Amino acid sequence: MNALYDIIFAPFIEFGFMQRALGGALLLCLSACPVGVFLMLRRMSLAGDAMAHAILPGAAAGFLLYGLEIVPMTVGGLVAGVVVALGAAAVSRLTVLKEDASMAAFYLISLALGVLIVSLRGSPIDLMHVLFGTVLALNDEALGLIGGITAVTLAGLFVFWRALIAECLDPLFLRSVSKLGPPVHFVFLGLVVLNLVGGFQALGTLLSVGLMMLPAAAARFWTGQVISMCVVATLVGAASVISGLLLSFHLSLPSGPSIILSAGVVYLLSVLVGPRGLPSRRSRSLRHRAA
């Protein structure tokens, strides 16, 4: 019993930095995992990765002007993310280029520009901080920011829930019966940017999308209902956070990658044993042969 306490509970009870890391990461799960479900259903998973890199120039500009300060880097990342989202959407609607291609172009430009800006002033350690985050160094200011983003995201999902589901299933139908189509699309992109900015505080620009997409992808193998997927994805995210932080604490591993790899393990297990994963495909194949 004492061994169980030392392994699982003691790190979060006895160390304040572990408590802040757990609280901030769990708040991210509440908002980022449901957003990841809608990204997956809209077939925009890779767009989420592109958006994660899109915030880098703004965060880097805030770092260049003010150093490793949360507010300037957050505001800069938010502005850059919104500009890239609107720019990619405008290009896809006004030209022959599809949204995924325009998003990829903006993402590559943003990534290169962000790394260049950080390199102008920072050291390799600063660049690693921006790219991979420092979840174990979250302070009260960062927790307040993440909590605010979570509240805004949950409120947005509650208000636009039906419209978001309708756009996932049939965006043309939504636009034909309602004027909410384009506004909902941009509101959703705004929620994605907000959560990536929040995730940037803990996991950096390269890994923040991992907490958004891996739990959502794992949940897809367990249920087909949207509300259930959001709940399962949030639970998977929370389990990944707890196990990743414990691995980081006991084995002296980087915390961010440990969290994302934990989510990756759950995803692979879901593929192998989930009722909508490989067993389902194998059973369908057997029934087809029997018929």
Domain ranges within the chain, ordered by starting residue:
2-205
What is the C-alpha to C-alpha distance for residues 89 and 85, in angstroms, rounded to an integer? 6
**Radius of gyration of the chain measured on its C-alpha atoms:** 20
Residues of the chain with pLDDT under 50: none
CA atoms within a 13 Å half-sphere pointing along the CA-CB vector of 107: 17
Q: Quickly list DSSP for the chain.
A: -HHHIIIIIHHHHH-HHHHHHHHHHHHHHHHHHHHHHHHHHTT-HHHHHHHHHHTHHHHHHHHHHHSS-HHHHHHHHHHHHHHHHHHHHHHHHHSSS-HHHHHHHHHHHHHHHHHHHHHHH--HHHHHHHHH--GGG--HHHHHHHHHHHHHHHHHHHHTHHHHHHHHH-HHHHHHH-TTHHHHHHHHHHHHHHHHHHHHHHHHHHHHHHHHHHHHHHHTTT--SHHHHHHHHHHHHHHHHHHHHHHHHHHT--HHHHHHHHHHHHHHHHHHHSTTSHHHHHHHHHHHHH-
Note whether 29 and 219 are within 8 A (CB).
no
Give this prediction's pTM: 0.86
Fold classified for 2-205: ABC transporter involved in vitamin B12 uptake, BtuC (1.10.3470)
252 conformational bin, left if phi > 0, alpha if psi -120 to 50, beta if neither: left
pLDDT value of residue 175? 66
- Cα dihedral angle (53, 258, 201, 6), rounded to 10 degrees? 170
pLDDT value of residue 98? 75
Note whether 190 and 13 are within 8 A (CB).
no
What is the C-alpha to C-alpha distance for residues 19 and 11, in angstroms, rounded to an integer? 8
What is the C-alpha to C-alpha distance for residues 16 and 22, in angstroms, rounded to an integer? 10
